[in-house]
Amino acid sequence: MKKTLSTLLLAVATVFVLGSCSKKLRPLHGDNVKVEPQMLEVVAGQVPAKIHVTFPAKWFPKKAVLTITPVLRYNGGEKVGASYTFQGEKVYGNDPVVSYTHGANATLSFSAPYVPQMAKSKLLLTFGLKGSNKPIADLEIAQGVIATEMLATAQVAKVALAPDSFQRIIKESYDASILFQIQQADIRRSELKKDDVQDWKGLVQQAKQADNQTVSVEVQAYASPDGGQKLNEKLSEQRERNTTKMLKKEFNKQRMSDIAIDAHYTAQDWEGFKTLVEQSDLQDKELVLRVLSMYSDPEQREREIRNISAAFSQLADEILPKLRRSRLIANIQITGKSDQEIKEFLDKAPKELTLEEMLYAATLVQGKEQQENVYQLISKLHAKDYRAFNNIGTLLYERGALDQAQVYFEAAKNRQNNPYSNINLGLIALSKGDLAQAATLIGAGSSVPEAAPALGLLYLKQGQYAKAVAAYGKTISNNAAVAQLLNSDYGRALSTINALPQPDATSFLIKAIVGARTNDSTLALSSLKKAISMDSKIAHLVSGNLEFAKFAGTPEFAQLLSSTSTH
């Protein structure tokens, strides 16, 4: 943000350079120093500045050695930057030389980790002249630090809750196959006695008798691709008819005559043929598959495949017999416990619930304390599962107990390296300023939805605001709005804040900064008023905040602060 502090930069501060060759004292003026940015601002948790110094012509004594040190002073402390030493033309040394006749330009770099007290601070240049014990006055070059970046915090980021896999309606499908001899449709007794067919019939009967299950049956009959289209169509139809008749007879014996059978047939099972070839170790497998892809006409396909004599012999022995079949399909639907039933079991007999039902039950209870109690119970009954430990950590995180939350996230990760706990530990690392560790952990949790906003916050804290905005995408949060604000996407930041379902005091403070940066005094002051009414501590953040420097001398701003101070 480019603003001019004319009163600051035009102020004359006198620096007495007392070199042995000086015949008179000469001041170094404030307009000989330019600070970039003119208003210091937190970027990636640091307060950086480039300080451009112009040494005027005939100012720097030829035998002088001058050291300049940037210092940021604030209530209770100071941060001292790197010192820069310059020498006159007649000094023997290795420091940059300043010409007496022409002067020189120099750039000093300064950076310090931000602390909240720096919001009200002064950036000074301090001077030391070699060989002189006489103090030289400091030169004030900037006031205050804009700390808007710090409004985005890991503490309000969305943590990742490990989900349950509870399904009230579970759909399962079971298959068995009855095989036929070549060009035959009769069902052999040996096929009915096969284990897979007997097991299939048992599953159907069990589902039919269960109170919480329903079952439906399909028959799909096929013929292998060898043989003519008409022959195969007639053959597959007969197989379907015989299979359906057999099933109805079996169901009648088991008193399941009301089970409907949905029957179909396919004349030439080319799809099944392709699947079996792909799964085989057929010598000319790729050649056969190429024929299938090149020709769509069934008769031409058959001719071309038969021409591959060695392959066709193997096909006839290993592949085609598996395609002469009727496929039996049992579609079973299992209905689980209702929400009310789960609640009742949770109160009276929690051990009767499955792990997934218990995890789901935690989402049904009212209040965070009760929810934590359920997760604590799960952690004891199912101590090897990571999810309850992770989810206890999320509840602790949300109430600000980050150290305790970290213990549970690590306990979850020790049980199973999972993306949810990685994301949450990444947020913990962000809250501690460990950006490298945060990047590793967030990367390891990239598969979960919460990864995007966590990555957005990481980029924001790295000072990469455009990347942060891209990572946040359509996320609606204060942190996302801060990223957009710092990226100068003011309209988008305002839209994000307006879309928040429950805006808080920080939301309105962000909105006020948007107003200030876009010269909308009505938006800025009304939003500030709302922010302070929601949290009186905001008034302290606003007083002296350079984001609102243009309003500092106005009666409206003064009235706003004075009226809130009486609450």
- Do 128 and 273 fall into the same domain? no
- Do 142 and 173 fall into the same domain? no
pLDDT of residue 27: 59
pLDDT in tens, 272-317: 888 888 888 877 878 888 878 887 777 788 787 777 757 777 788 8
Helix (H) or strand (E) holding 175: strand 169-179
Residue 15 has pLDDT above 50, yes or no: no
User: Which string of b and e fits 533-565 if b means at least 16 CB within 10 Å?
Assistant: ebeeebbebbeebbbbbebeeeeebeebeeebe
Helix (H) or strand (E) holding 54: strand 46-55
pLDDT of residue 561: 79
Q: Is residue 156 part of a domain?
A: no
Q: How confident is the model at residue 23 (pLDDT cuts 50, 70, 90)?
A: very low
Residue 26: which CATH number? Answer: 2.60.40
pLDDT of residue 425: 98
Greater confidence (152 vs 7) lies with 152
Distance CA 424, CA 412 (A): 11
pLDDT of residue 291: 79
For residue 445, give Cα distances in angstroms to 431, 438, 454, 455.
Answer: 17, 11, 10, 10
pLDDT in tens, 500-555: 999 999 999 999 999 999 999 999 999 999 999 999 888 888 888 899 988 887 88
Domain count, the chain: 3
Spatial neighbors of 327 by CB under 8 A, at least 6 apart, are 175, 176, 177, 218, 219, 220, 221, 222
- Do 177 and 216 fall into the same domain? yes
- Do 75 and 174 fall into the same domain? no
pLDDT of residue 65: 93
Residue 453 has pLDDT above 80, yes or no: yes
pLDDT above 70 as % of the chain: 94
pLDDT in tens, 474-496: 999 999 999 999 999 999 999 99
- Do 206 and 97 fall into the same domain? no
- Do 136 and 71 fall into the same domain? yes
Q: How confident is the model at residue 563 (pLDDT cuts 50, 70, 90)?
A: low
For residue 419, give the 3-state DSSP assignment. helix
pLDDT of residue 21: 42
Domain-terminating residue out of 302, 335, 368? 335
pLDDT in tens, 28-86: 788 899 999 989 999 999 999 999 999 999 999 999 999 999 999 999 999 999 999 99
Distance CA 462, CA 459 (A): 5
Residue 199: which CATH number? Answer: 3.30.1330.60
pLDDT above 90 as % of the chain: 68
Greatest CA separation found in the chain?
Answer: 123
- Do 128 and 207 fall into the same domain? no
User: Please, which contacts does 100-103 make with residues 24 or more away whose CB atoms are closer than 8 Å?
Assistant: 100/57, 100/58, 100/59, 100/60, 100/61, 100/62, 101/57, 101/58, 102/57, 103/54, 103/55, 103/56, 103/57, 103/58, 103/59, 103/60
- Do 13 and 126 fall into the same domain? yes
Cα 363 versus chain centre, distance:
22
- Single out the residue of 152, 217, 223, 219 nearest to residue 182, CA to CA: 223
Tell me which of 315-329, 337-351, 439-453, 507-521 is least confident.
Answer: 315-329
Q: Which residue has the tokens 């069902």?
A: 187
pLDDT of residue 8: 34
Instruction: Sort strands 145-146 and 40-41 into parallel, antiparallel or unpaired.
Output: parallel
For residue 225, give the 3-state DSSP assignment. coil
Averaged over 362-391, what is the pLDDT? Answer: 96
Tell me which of 99-103, 173-177, 314-318, 493-497 is least confident.
Answer: 314-318
Q: Which residue has the tokens 């179909």?
A: 264
Residue 132 has pLDDT above 90, yes or no: no
For residue 529, give Cα distances in angstroms to 63, 229, 535, 538, 559.
Answer: 59, 82, 10, 10, 10
Q: Is residue 154 part of a domain?
A: no
Q: Is residue 86 part of a domain?
A: yes
pLDDT of residue 564: 55
> Which stretches of 6-64 are DSSP H helices?
6-9
pLDDT of residue 423: 98
Cβ-based neighbour number of residue 511 at 10 Å: 26
Q: Is residue 374 part of a domain?
A: no
User: Which string of b and e fits 218-244 if b means at least 16 CB within 10 Å?
Assistant: bbbbbbbbbbeeeebeebbbbbbbbbb
Q: Is residue 564 part of a domain?
A: yes
- Do 139 and 196 fall into the same domain? no
Q: Is residue 299 part of a domain?
A: no
Averaged over 212-222, what is the pLDDT? Answer: 91
- Do 137 and 16 fall into the same domain? yes
Q: Is residue 286 part of a domain?
A: no
Task: Find the domain containing 84 and state its range.
Answer: 6-146
pLDDT of residue 25: 34
- Do 140 and 192 fall into the same domain? no
Residue 566 has pLDDT above 80, yes or no: no
- Do 130 and 189 fall into the same domain? no
Averaged over 242-247, what is the pLDDT? Answer: 93
pLDDT of residue 30: 81
- Single out the residue of 117, 152, 151, 145 nearest to residue 42, CA to CA: 145
| Mean of all residue pLDDT scores within the chain | 89
pLDDT of residue 19: 40
Q: Is residue 385 part of a domain?
A: no
